[in-house]
Amino acid sequence: MGQLFSGTSQSEALYSSFTSYFQKFKAENKIISQGIITLIELYLTLGDLQQAKDEIASALRELTSTPLNVAVIGESGTGKSSFINVFRGVGHEEKTSAPIGVVETTMSRTPYRHPNIPNVVIWDLPGIGTTNFPPKDYLEKMKFYEYDFFIIVSATRFRKNDIDLAKAISIMKKDFYFLRTKVDIDLENEKQCKDTFSRETFLQHIRSHCVNMFKKNNLDVPPIFLISNRNVSDYDFPILKVTLKNKLSTNTHQNIMFSLSNTTEATIERKHNSIQQFIWLEAFKDGVLMTNPVVDILKDSDVEKLKMSLNNYRVLFGVDDATLEFMAKDSQVSVEQLRKIIKSPYLLETKKRKTLEGMLLKYMERSASANGGLLKSGLYFRKTYYLELLFLDTVAEDAKVLLRETHSRN
């Protein structure tokens, strides 16, 4: 191990590693097409490492530039357009704002760019169930299959159309958030009707009702947010803003992951495999791998990038702090209890734990035969890529642990 290769033998080793790695995946689970993989393999057999590297770079650019399409849906009058304006930080009277009013104002699906989140397109869809858009025609007219992620907006009470939309999204195996708007009005009405009143009890009652409606209809319970578009510093709106921005800001090469909810361990594994492929391709592109043992020193800038990657993986797999809060509410346990059974939040807290170097060595030993047999052929990633793979494995395992825990409590 660690010997230097001639150009030809290095290409042969790279070809063998690249081919054996991608043979592990079925066609539908590969993040780049088989045609691109075959082309890269051809350049490697010809000894043209630069062309192979350029082809990978081009495929990665295409993945990262793909826009994320987010559909905001629900019945007319629930506050969809108002939510879009508030989330984008745009005043209702500005030219780029979504039109709002007491009558139906959105008559066609309309795209809006978020000013601070690149490659994200938020679509304001007309209300379902009106005379203009009856449910039986709605999905086809709104081109439901084109969106990567959905936000269902509801108000006043849970309706059949909310369930029908959730079922359609679930059939497509895509993710969604559920927003219950106008809770300030609900609270005011409740105060006037009752002699004794508890804000927290009432809000928990609304949340529990939403949870029960999803379960009653055999649907996985999505993240539920109780908000007011008029009081954006109150209720769940602050945490919704942070959670949604984190989710949408995650590198757009992972957009395909929004279509995979953590409903089973198999879907978590599919998500893990897809992101692992991306890390592997990035590592391959970055200098077409190394032919010496991993001796590069981690710099402060490397650690900062690793922190960002770890946070992104936690968001994608639903083990970030904001999602843990919602899991805790739904499961009626403390956040601390959930944090105790997972490992990823502590990966970079090394004072009382193994150092990054120690974690890296242990991971390399454990995965010596993985990733296309790279170590067997004497080829190496930089340390940062091994650590990214370690972080990804840990976060994916955390997602499985939390899935088992929440299912055992339901």
Say which residue the tokens 């990966």 belong to. 347
User: Which comes out higher in pLDDT, residue 216 or 190?
Assistant: 216
**For 374-392, what is each residue's pLDDT tens digit?**
544 445 567 778 888 888 9
pLDDT bracket for residue 33 (50, 70, 90): confident
- Which of 8-22, 117-131, 241-255 comes out lowest in average pLDDT? 241-255
Residue 31 phi/psi, 5° resolution? -85, -15
pLDDT of residue 29 exceeding 80, the answer is no
Over residues 122-129, mean pLDDT: 87
What is the rounded distance in angstroms from the CA atom of residue 237 to the CA atom of residue 242?
9
What are the φ/ψ torsions at residue 71 (nearest 5 degrees)?
-100, 130
**Higher pLDDT residue, 186 or 91?**
186
Q: Indicate the range of 53-57, 214-218, 333-337 predicted with least confidence.
A: 333-337
How high is the pLDDT of residue 290?
A: 56
Neighbours of 269 (CB within 10 A): 15
Higher pLDDT, 225 or 48: 225
| The predicted structure's pLDDT at residue 96 | 67
**If you average pLDDT over residues 386-402, what whole number do you get?**
89
- Cβ atoms of 16 and 284 within 8 Å: the answer is no
Q: pLDDT for 147-170, tens place per residue?
A: 888 999 999 888 888 999 999 998
Which residue's structure tokens are 């010596």? 368
Residue closest to 360 by CA, chosen among 408, 309, 296: 296
Mean per-residue pLDDT, 320-341: 82
What pLDDT, on a 0 to 100 scale, did the predictor assign at position 217?
A: 93
* Tokens 């992104």 belong to residue: 312
Query: 126-133 contacts: CB < 8 A, separation 24 or more?
Result: 126/76, 127/74, 127/75, 127/76, 127/77, 127/78, 127/80, 128/73, 128/74, 128/75, 128/76, 128/161, 128/164, 128/165, 129/75, 129/76, 129/161, 130/75, 130/76, 130/104, 132/104, 132/107
Whole-number pLDDT of residue 103: 44
Question: Can you give the residue ranges of every domain in the chain?
Answer: 7-65+262-409, 68-249
Q: How confident is the model at residue 102 (pLDDT cuts 50, 70, 90)?
A: very low
Q: Assess whether pLDDT exceeds 80 at residue 94.
A: no
- Higher pLDDT residue, 290 or 40? 40
Q: What confidence tier does 294 reach under pLDDT thresholds 50, 70, 90?
A: low
73 falls in which pLDDT band (50, 70, 90)?
very high
CB atoms within 10 A of CB 374: 26
Please give the average per-residue pLDDT across 95-103, as a whole number: 61
Pairing of strands 120-124, 110-113: antiparallel
Backbone angles phi, psi at 181, to 5 degrees: -90, 175
**pLDDT reading at 368 higher than 60:** no
142 has pLDDT over 80: yes
> What number is the average pLDDT over the span 231-249?
82
pLDDT over 90 (residue 179): yes
pLDDT at 265 over 90: no
Q: Looking at the predicted structure, is the pLDDT value of residue 244 above 70?
A: yes
Q: What's this model's pTM, rounded to 2 decimal places? A: 0.69
pLDDT for 4:
39
* Position 253 confidence tier, pLDDT thresholds 50, 70, 90: very low
Just give the CATH number of 68-249. 3.40.50.300
- Output phi, psi for 296, to 5 deg: -65, 145
